[in-house]
Structure 1
Amino acid sequence: MAHTQLLPGQRGPADHAMHERVVEAAHAMFSARGFARTSVAEIAADLDVAPTYLYKFFQSKAAIGEAVCSNILGGIDEALWQVARSQADPDRKVMQLFRTMLKESVGMFFAERKLHDLVAQSLEQNWSSIARHQQQIRAVVAHIVDEGVEKRAFDPELDRDEAVEALFWALYPFAHPRVLEQSIDQDLEARARIIGRFCVRALRGNTAKLVTD
């Protein structure tokens, strides 16, 4: 996925082909060897260019790591938006949001453990890719809440901003790599289902009976 906007530490035109080539090469190397064990020189060698050439596009290895992290999280964001823009009823979308967040996060973070560590590091160091990811989650949630209120599936008297924040933080444990790591041996699917059902009940108020799935 090519970036259309420069992240901190990136240089040159945002749509330059070298940006995408560097990110793709770095993604593969970080996945195989880990972020800490991969150098800019090794990424440059893989692309058959001099390391100094890469610095025309990225200020540091951390900037390359942030671009890779942004792409990883962008895949999760895309999956969440597919839920939000589907034809399902709003209450079903809330339930699916929890299932999708869990599935995508576990898939991204644990199928490729070294990339999981990269995302965890980005959280610990407050990279801007994390802020953008959180912004996208809030936007997805807001889209579903607004649709639910408009269709009278959710309580029309909801405090919209409060509802969005509550859903965001309810989803947070299923998105945070360190929290997932600590609870991976538990029945996270059951937990996501329970919390999703509770959130639907809170959103609907007394408008209808609780969704069962």
Structure 2
Amino acid sequence: MNRPTPHSGATRGPADHELRDQIVAAATEHFSRYGYEKTTVSDLAKAVGFSKAYIYKFFESKQAIGETICVNCMLQIEAEVRAAVDGGDRPPEKLRRMFKAIVDATLRLLFQDRKLYEIAASAASERWPATIAYEARMQALLQDIIQEGRQTGDFERKTPLDETTAAIYLVIRPYLNPLLLQHSFDYTEQAPARLSGLILRSLSP
């Protein structure tokens, strides 16, 4: 399986600088309390105890800070999804696990804090680079499962691989995107099993 390649957004300075982590931690707490849209870089500077100019040595904008927070959340979701997939014995089970883990992990990490949800919503609606990279990695993971299923004989091989992957991803995507997921709360319990079951029947050789 392909391993995740994090995209940390438009950051500056040493990548492992402890002050960068301090800024991100303070920003996460501040956004949680006051919301992403209502917070300015000046507010974050006061919270961290640095000047606004000093923060700009590490991040070029508030969005860059928000994107770093998004990357942290998405990597947690991705790690959980990959762990679930790796726990499956065969491709059909891996696909079922992928659907369920995506819904469970996204709900837990993006909706446990409604203030931080604002960052995820901004990232999704404005198509931040980190979001695009995250979706690309999840689509690659899906393609790996389908390809493995074709090799084991569990899935049909007539339809072009990229076409099959794209079609199935369109079914999964509403559960990856926080803007779409918020409209599907009534279906999150039964959707993973029903949708994955329908897809698996369509993939039968």
TM-score (norm 1): 0.86
Letter of the 2:197 partner, please give it: R
* Residue of structure 2 equivalent to 1:170: 171
Distance 2:19 2:141 in 1: 31
Distance 1:4 1:191, change over 3 A: closer
Letter of the 1:182 partner, please give it: H
For residues 4-46 of structure 1, what are the alpha-carbon distances to aligned partners after superposition, in whole Å with 9 as ceiling and x for unaligned?
Answer: 76523x1122232222222222112212221122222332333
Q: Which runs of 5+ in 2 are unaligned?
A: none
Q: Give 3-state SS (helix, strand or coil) of 1:182's partner.
A: coil
The one of 7, 10, 34 equivalent to 2:9 is 7
Distance 1:118 1:202, change over 3 A: same
| CA-atom RMSD in angstroms | 1.9
Q: Which has the higher contact order (CA 8 A, sep 6+)?
A: 2
Maintained 8 Å contact 2:91/2:148 = yes
* Residue of structure 1 equivalent to 2:37: 36
Maintained 8 Å contact 1:4/1:14 = no
Q: Which runs of 5+ in 1 are unaligned?
A: 206-213
* Residue of structure 2 equivalent to 1:102: 103
* Residue of structure 2 equivalent to 1:202: 202
Matched, 1:45 2:46: yes
Maintained 8 Å contact 1:12/1:57 = yes
TM-score (norm 2): 0.89
Maintained 8 Å contact 1:30/1:114 = yes
For residues 125-172 of structure 1, what are the alpha-carbon distances to aligned partners after superposition, in whole Å with 9 as ceiling and x for unaligned?
Answer: 121111011111111101211221222222233421112112211101
Distance 1:64 1:35 in 2: 10
Distance 1:164 1:80 in 2: 17
Distance 2:67 2:165 in 1: 27
Q: How many residues align?
A: 201
Percent identity reads 26
